[in-house]
Amino acid sequence: MSQALVDTVSPATAPKKARANGDARGEPSGESSRDLRHDWTLAEVRALHDLPLFELVDRARTAHLANFGAAEVQLCTLLSVKTGGCPEDCAYCPQSSHHDTGVGAEKMLNVPEVLAAAQRAKDAGSTRFCMGAAWREVKDGPAFDRVLDMVKGVKAIGLEACATLGMLNERQAKKLADAGLDAYNHNLDTSRAAYKSIISTRTYDERLATLRNVRRAGITVCSGGILGMGESIDDRCAMLVELATMSPHPESVPINALVRVEGTPLAALPPIDPISFIRVIAVARVMMPRAMVRLSAGRAEMSRETQLLCMYAGANSIFFGDKLLTTDNPEPDADASLLRDAGLTGMAPAPSACSGA
Ligand code: SAM
Ligand code: DTB
Ligand code: SF4
C-alpha cells in the first residue's frame, strides 16, 4: 500500500462535513430534518431513475454534497471468517452448498488470525472491517462467542466493526451491540417480487425481521442488494423503495454488481451495463441522502471511469483489499492509483472507531 494513501486518512484530513447519519457512532440517525423522506412510491422512484442521465447525476451530486465531503471515500476491508458450506440456496453465492463452485467448507478462523488481518487492514488505510460468515443464521454457542471476541478485538484496534452472519434474533443482536459492533450487514438483495427466483430457503420477511432486530439493538443497519441478476428496472426501484421507506433509513446501502461465479445458476448472465448500475447508485443517493452508499462487489470487472462516475453520483465507500469474501477485488495499488488520479481521499476514522471502546 502506498504511503500517500495512508497519509490521506489521517485525522488531519477530517471531512469538511461530518457524516450526518450517525453511522459507526452508535448514535441514532439524525433523521429529524425535513429533507429525508420515507414515503417514496415506486412510480416516482421509477420516474427519477428514468431521468436523462446527467439530470439524475446532478440531483444525486447535489444530495451528496449537502451531506458529505466532495472527495472522500471510505475504505473498508472484508474478511470471510467462516467460508463455504452454507445450507442456503442463494443463486448468486459461491458459498452455497447447493452449487458446485469449488469453494469448500472451511474451518472458522480463530480470533488472532482475524485481528492480525484487521490490523493489516488498518495499516493499509481502511477504517472499517467487515467480518462475514457463510451461515444461514447465528446459533448461540462457541462460534458466536468467538465472533463476539472478534468484534471486541476489532474495536480495540480502532476500526469500525461490521458483521454479516445471516439471520439474527434480538437477543443475539444485543450481544453484538454489547461487544461494540457498529454495523450489521444483511442485504435485501433484490425486490420482494424477484427474491423468490433467487432464494428459496428463507423469506423476504425473515430478512426484514433481522433488520428490525439489528435496529432495535442500536446497531446501525447496512442493507442493500445486487444488480445484474436478471431483475427488471422496476425490481431495482422496488428494492430501493423497501430500503428508503424504512424509518430511519439504513445508515449503509451496499450496491453490488453480481460477481458471476462458475457453478452458480447465475454464472452465464451478461454483466450489468455500467450506465444502468450508475443510475441505481444515483437514485439511492437521492432517496437516502445521508446513507453511506457503498460501491461493493463487482468492481474488478468495472472500468476506472465507471467506478469514478459511481463515486461522482454518490457512492462514498469501497472494499479495499485484493479479496472480497471468496472472489477477487481490485489490487490495493490499483485502487490507490485510482483515488490519487482522481484527487479522492480516504475518509478519516469516525470518532467512535478511534476510542478503542
Ligand atoms: N451468509 C450471510 C448472509 O447471506 O446474510 C452473510 C454473507 S453473504 C455472502 C453477504 C452478501 O454478499 C449477500 O447478501 C449478497 O448480497 C452478497 N453476495 C454474495 N455473493 C455475491 C456475488 N456473487 N455477487 C455479488 N454479491 C454477492
Ligand atoms: C455486501 O453487500 N457485499 C459484500 C458484503 N456486503 C459482505 C459481500 C460481497 C461478496 C461477493 C462474493 C464473494 O466474494 O464471495
Ligand atoms: Fe449462505 Fe449468505 Fe451465501 Fe446465501 S449469501 S448462500 S446465506 S453465505
Residue nearest to atom 2 of ligand 1 (CA): 166
Element (H, E) at 305: helix 304-312
The answer to whether residue 168 sits within a structural domain is yes
- Residue 277 in grid coordinates: 448500475
Percent of all residues in the chain with a pLDDT value above 90, rounded to a whole number: 87
Inform me whether the pLDDT recorded for 27 exceeds 70.
no
Residue 68 belongs to some domain of the structure: yes
Instruction: Name the region of 321 (left: φ>0; alpha: ψ -120 to 50; beta: rest).
Output: left
Asked whether residue 205 carries a pLDDT value surpassing 60, the answer given is yes
Which CATH number does the domain housing residue 108 bear? 3.20.20.70
**Dihedral angle sign, alpha carbons of residues 222, 297, 165, 75:** negative
94 C-alpha to ligand 1 centroid (Å): 9
CA of 136 to the centre of ligand 3 (A): 7
pLDDT at 22 exceeding the cut of 70: no
Place of cell 490507490: 336
Ligand 3: residue of 136, 195, 202 to mutate (most ligand atoms within 8 A of CB) is: 136
pLDDT in tens, 215-251: 999 999 999 999 999 999 999 999 999 999 999 999 9
Residue 355, domain member (yes or no): no
Look at ligand 3, atom 6, and give the residue with the nearest C-alpha.
Answer: 96
Residue of 78, 90, 199, 299 best suited for mutating to test ligand 1, as the one with most atoms within 8 Å of CB:
90
Does 230 fall in a domain? yes
320, part of any domain: yes
Q: Which atom of ligand 3 is nearest to the CA of 133?
A: 8
Question: Considering the domain boundaries, does residue 204 fall inside one?
Answer: yes
Cell for 281?
A: 447508485
- Inter-CA distances, 248 with 163, 291, 352, Å: 20, 10, 20
Greatest pairwise CA separation for the chain in angstroms: 53
Rounded CA-CA distance 202/186 in Å is: 13
pLDDT for residue 350: 76
pLDDT in tens, 294-325: 999 999 999 999 999 999 999 999 999 999 99
The one-letter amino acid code at 279 reads R
Number of separate domains in the chain:
1
Q: What is the pLDDT of residues 194-204, one digit of tens each?
A: 999 999 999 99
Residues 6 or more apart from 155 whose CB is under 8 A from it? 161, 179, 180, 353, 356, 357
Nearest CA-CA partner of 239 in 53, 68, 45, 4: 45
Does residue 60 carry a pLDDT above 70? yes
Could you report the per-residue pLDDT of 128-178, keeping only the tens digit for each?
Answer: 999 999 999 999 999 999 999 999 999 999 999 999 999 999 999 999 999
Task: Give the residue numbers spanning the domain of 311.
Answer: 35-344
176: β partners: none
Query: What band does 277 get if pLDDT is binned at 50, 70 and 90?
Result: very high
Is 222 catalytic? The answer is: yes
80 lines ligand 2 (CB under 6 A): no
User: Residue 56 C-alpha to ligand 2 middle, in angstroms?
Assistant: 27
Q: Do the beta carbons of residue 4 and residue 336 sit within 8 Å?
A: yes
pLDDT in tens, 105-122: 999 999 999 999 999 999
The CA distance from 64 to 311, in Å, is: 10
Grid cell, residue 185, equals 450487514
Assess if residue 285 is contained within a domain. yes
Distance CA(278)–CA(284), nearest Å, equals 10
In whole angstroms, give the CA distance from residue 309 to residue 235. Answer: 23
